[in-house]
Amino acid sequence: MSGRLSVVGLGPGEAAVRTPQAEAALAAATDLVGYGPYLARVAAAPAQARHPSDNREEVARACHALGLAADGRHVAVVSSGDAGVFGMASAVFEAIEAGPPAWRRLEVEVVPGISAMFAAAARIGAPLGHDFCAISLSDNLKPWEVVAQRLRAAAGAGFVVALYNPLSRARPWQLGAAFDLLRPILPGATPVVFATAVTRPEERIDVTTLADADQARADMRTLVLVGTKATRRVERPSAPPWLYAPRRGCA
């Protein structure tokens, strides 16, 4: 058997938002590799080996998966959302680039998934309908000054910003610092959405403004969307407002 590696985006949570292509790649695998809680979202299949890991050391996990594939296994490496958005796909290619030449001959496929920003946006209307960008607030792998510079540039240029990894126990202050540096750039009325655990049973969507945005509403399962001065807010009588980006694309 010649080895194969699929890097599979599981989507943001519930099975209905996982693609049939992802389900097929998972079902065809002899081995599943990934962060333990993500593997737990994949239905057990008899005769399939599972290799759960903690959420650090992504490149070591990728090397493990590539080693299994080089031994002839059919390996699926899983990520939440889309594997190419702050997920395992980059770690796999980093490992291939630095690894033995044989890894470049493996059959590798990346199976796309629905990223948290798309699931969150869909809940609230169409806030990403025009130009937008995604920024991870984690400064584990890049200095905070780089994060801060990108935030200022994105907000100054009129991009809606999707903030991933807004905070964690080890990084408790980043989201508050991000709001503080956006406040002089954007109007206080700019819509901000806290979308937590989207498509999971504990889902919560809060809509507020930049003036009132409080980082205490977020945890590591939250995707934060920061609008622009062009973002439209459509009030509804007994439901949260809809937000959308007008197609003309500027205020």
Q: What residues make contact with ligand SAH under the rule CB under 6 A?
A: 12-13, 79-82, 85-87, 115-116, 120, 164-166, 195-200, 220-223
Quick count: other Cβ atoms within 10 Å of Cβ 190? Answer: 23
| Inter-axis angle of helices 144-156 and 174-182, nearest 10 | 40
Report the side by side order of strands in the sheet with 125-126. 125-126, 239-244, 232-236
| CB-nearer residue toward ligand SAH: 70 or 194 | 194
Supply the minimum distance, in Å, between the C-beta of residue 164 and ligand SAH.
4
| CB-nearer residue toward ligand SAH: 136 or 228 | 136
Supply the minimum distance, in Å, between the C-beta of residue 149 and ligand SAH.
20
| CB-nearer residue toward ligand SAH: 23 or 203 | 203
| CB-nearer residue toward ligand SAH: 31 or 82 | 82
| CB-nearer residue toward ligand SAH: 70 or 163 | 163
Supply the minimum distance, in Å, between the C-beta of residue 171 and ligand SAH.
10
Whole-angstrom CA distances from 151 to 6, 36, 102, 103, 108 are: 33, 31, 40, 37, 34
User: Residue 68: helix, strand or coil by DSSP?
Assistant: helix
Considering only CA atoms, which of 88, 111, 106, 92 is closest in space to residue 25?
111
- Contact (Cβ atoms closer than 8 angstroms) between residue 32 and residue 129: no
Supply the minimum distance, in Å, between the C-beta of residue 65 and ligand SAH.
16
Cα separation, 69 vs 108, whole angstroms: 9
Supply the minimum distance, in Å, between the C-beta of residue 10 and ligand SAH.
9
Cα separation, 71 vs 122, whole angstroms: 41
| CB-nearer residue toward ligand SAH: 75 or 114 | 114
Altogether, the residues listed in the chain come to a count of 251
User: Residue 188: helix, strand or coil by DSSP?
Assistant: coil
Supply the minimum distance, in Å, between the C-beta of residue 137 and ligand SAH.
8
